[in-house]
Amino acid sequence: MLQKIRRTAAIICFILTSLLFFDFSGILHHWLGWLAKIQFIPALLALNVGVVFMLIAMTLFFGRVYCSVICPLGVFQDFVSRVAGKRKKNRFTFSPALHWLRYGVLFLFIIAFISGLGLFVAFLEPYSIYGRIASNLIAPLYQWVNNLLAYFSERINSYSFYSVDVWIKSILTFVTSIVTLVVIAVLAWCNGRTYCNTICPVGTILGFFARYSLLKPVINPEKCNECGLCSHNCKASCIDPKAHKIDYSRCVACMDCIDRCRRKAIKYELRKKTSRVEIGISPQIVGKNSNSRRNFLSTTALFAVATTLKAQNNVDGGLAIIKDKKNPVRLTQITPAGSFGASNFTQHCTACQLCISVCPNQVLHPSNRLASLMQPEMSYERGYCRPECVRCSEVCPSGAIKAITTSDKSSIQIGHAVWIKENCVVKTDNVSCGNCARHCPVGAIHMVPDDANNKESLKIPVINTERCIGCGACENLCPSRPFSAIYVEGHERHRII
């Protein structure tokens, strides 16, 4: 029963959280946005005290149900492990906790967390790992299905579906997602919750609290015949049937053992006073672990080769060929309005890719810079930061992008436009243009005669950088290709104008 409740809740949570990464229409976030905001590390980064307190209280009460219900990566591993379990029954054995690894990783994680080393945090944090897998590897499938529906919907003259561009936003992040997916899937396939109980910092932190949880599965030694069935089915490998003991710091409260036990010797009940856990080290287990590590290394090598998917430009005979725009080299990266600037952004962002998944204008994509690797960065080759949209700020769970309104946005300067004379079509093609000025939402660009003495001469754009908000409309709509004649240089710290 308990297992069924856990499973149902986990499946619902998992699907809904995943949908956050798939839904590009922005409708679901309105209803389900909170699912991302109750994730542990994002809540911690957002200084969302209420949520952190609630999660800890929950753990103190029920054990690590967070790991088996709320955490999408945890549920994902359960899924993989379940499939593996179909092929080989009773495949787990008790293994002692790898304290040095767990606490070592946690220690490094805390150091990185405090010193604002986003990359390290992003690599280990479970929600972000899942976010990257979902948005890089699963969302494209979802979008393809959507595009197929859009294709048919177009043919029956319906407007229920519209097609979206599917593109690799960053090769590096794409490859990273594949590698992490494979590593975690292999670990889950072989050893269940290995990642959760050896690497995951959230698992370690919550495990610490779970030791003292009010409710927990307890083995009744009088009923137990030491058959070991519970232990063989414990994906956390934390039940020692001989000693009738469970390592609660690793137990994710999945309730599988309760259901498994034929003698109903395990009950989910109030903790007993003397339930102190003792763990011995068995050399046999260590060997097994190293085996999985070898597995892991070989699979990583396998995936070092990346495949590229390139959306084709549709060009008809009577139409001029349009070159793809290229991202210019920017001295300072551009971060979304609401993030206050690069330093605040990198410190808070866990690179979960949620904002990238929802950006309807294809402005956000994972960064390739070392300091902000995989964290979102803005560029305007495919679209620009449109005035009516503040979706990234609405969905960000970790406080890296604070919620803003469209009117806030119209006065936040995230960068400023720079004109490159050599690229401007007024100069190169000798035609009148002014597309940048025409589309500037804040009127920061004016067209002035190229020759000050000749009012009839072609007009060139001049930028009032004080009024420019850095939205990139000018850069995106500039006819000069592949490099625009006007581009946005980011601001270290955003200003209100």
- Point out which residues bind other proteins (CB under 8 A): 154, 159, 162-163, 313-322, 386-388, 425, 429, 431-435, 438-439, 477, 479
- Here the tokens at position 353 are 């890719």
By beta-carbon proximity to other proteins, the closer residue of 3 and 147 is: 147
CA torsion sign, 80 to 86 to 87 to 88? positive
By beta-carbon proximity to other proteins, the closer residue of 274 and 313 is: 313
* Minimum CB–partner distance for residue 149 and other proteins (Å): 13
Give the N- to C-terminal CA distance of the chain in Å, as an integer: 59
Strands 459-463, 445-449: pairing is antiparallel
* Minimum CB–partner distance for residue 405 and other proteins (Å): 14
Do 181 and 135 touch, CB atoms closer than 8 A? Answer: no
DSSP-derived letter for residue 157 is T
* Minimum CB–partner distance for residue 311 and other proteins (Å): 11
CB burial class (10 A; 0-12, 13-18, 19+) of residue 469? buried
By beta-carbon proximity to other proteins, the closer residue of 140 and 360 is: 360
By beta-carbon proximity to other proteins, the closer residue of 116 and 434 is: 434
Please report, for residues 52, 95, 153, 162, the alpha-carbon distance to residue 158 in angstroms, rounded to integers and kept in the order given. 45, 57, 5, 9
Cis peptide before 96 (omega within 30 of 0): no
* Minimum CB–partner distance for residue 165 and other proteins (Å): 9
By beta-carbon proximity to other proteins, the closer residue of 278 and 388 is: 388
Q: Which amino acid type is present at position 360?
A: P
By beta-carbon proximity to other proteins, the closer residue of 157 and 307 is: 157
Rounded to an integer, what distance in angstroms lies between the CA atom of residue 106 and that of residue 294?
A: 23
By beta-carbon proximity to other proteins, the closer residue of 298 and 432 is: 432
Categorise residue 472: left if φ over 0, alpha if ψ from -120 to 50, beta otherwise: left
* Minimum CB–partner distance for residue 156 and other proteins (Å): 13
Q: Alpha helix (H) ranges present in 63-170?
A: 65, 72-87, 99-115, 118-124, 126-133, 139-155
By beta-carbon proximity to other proteins, the closer residue of 135 and 476 is: 476
B/e letters for 175-199, b = 16+ CB within 10 Å, e = fewer, are bbbbbbbbbbbbbbbbbbbbbbbbb
Residues in a beta bridge with 496: 412
* Minimum CB–partner distance for residue 112 and other proteins (Å): 40
* Minimum CB–partner distance for residue 322 and other proteins (Å): 4
* Minimum CB–partner distance for residue 39 and other proteins (Å): 32
By beta-carbon proximity to other proteins, the closer residue of 163 and 299 is: 163
By beta-carbon proximity to other proteins, the closer residue of 322 and 497 is: 322
Do 373 and 367 touch, CB atoms closer than 8 A? Answer: yes
By beta-carbon proximity to other proteins, the closer residue of 50 and 318 is: 318
Rounded to an integer, what distance in angstroms lies between the CA atom of residue 107 and that of residue 102?
A: 9
* Minimum CB–partner distance for residue 169 and other proteins (Å): 17
CB atoms within 10 A of CB 320: 7
- Here the tokens at position 186 are 């292999």
Rounded to an integer, what distance in angstroms lies between the CA atom of residue 460 and that of residue 385?
A: 24
Rounded to an integer, what distance in angstroms lies between the CA atom of residue 254 and that of residue 181?
A: 22
* Minimum CB–partner distance for residue 387 and other proteins (Å): 6
* Minimum CB–partner distance for residue 333 and other proteins (Å): 25
The secondary structure element, H or E, covering residue 416 is strand 412-419
Residues in a beta bridge with 246: 239
